[in-house]
Amino acid sequence: MTIAMYVRVSTEEQNDVSQRRELKKWIVANGINPSTVHWYVDKASGSTLDRPALDQLRKDVENGAIKTVVTWKIDRLSRDLIQGFELIGKWCKLEVRVVIVTLALDLSGPIGQAVACLYFALAQVEKENIKERQAAGIA
């Protein structure tokens, strides 16, 4: 196993059908044998990196079992600027390719990492906007 597909939705009530569909299209478009792909799926908030499937993915990356991580959107990995950038930075140091399907973006190398930083910052802003809207709705 060298290619990982990472999928995350925030709650148990949500489904990941649209993410899986787009990731499967990426697999086909890149001529990858689907049986060589391992899926990691979380139903948890993106505000923390403490998630079961992400924890396993990180272990598999660190032990060399995964050489490419593909996800639908960058905020599936993290909605926190610092945590997200540290995660991507560590994977890039391990020479792991990180692909964001919706952006047609490969985060390998310094330009990809700089772009990732921008997108993680935007994901963090969106997380804060969601909190504000929730608080206003409750009030």
Please name every residue paired with 69 in a beta bridge, in sequence order, or none if there are none. 4, 98
Tell me the per-residue pLDDT of 34-55, one tens digit each, with 9 for 90 and over: 999 999 999 998 888 999 999 9
Tell me the per-residue pLDDT of 50-69, one tens digit each, with 9 for 90 and over: 999 999 999 999 999 999 99
Confidence of residue 15 (pLDDT cuts 50, 70, 90): very high
CA distance 75 to 44: 12
DSSP-derived 3-state class of residue 19 = helix
Say which residue, 63 or 135, is predicted with more confidence: 63
The residue with tokens 């969106």 is 126
CA distance 6 to 21: 13
Cβ-count burial 10-41 (b if 16+ within 10 Å, e if not) = eeeeeebeebeebbeebbeeeeeeeeebbebb
The average confidence (pLDDT) of the chain is 88
Q: Hey, which residues are catalytic here?
A: 10
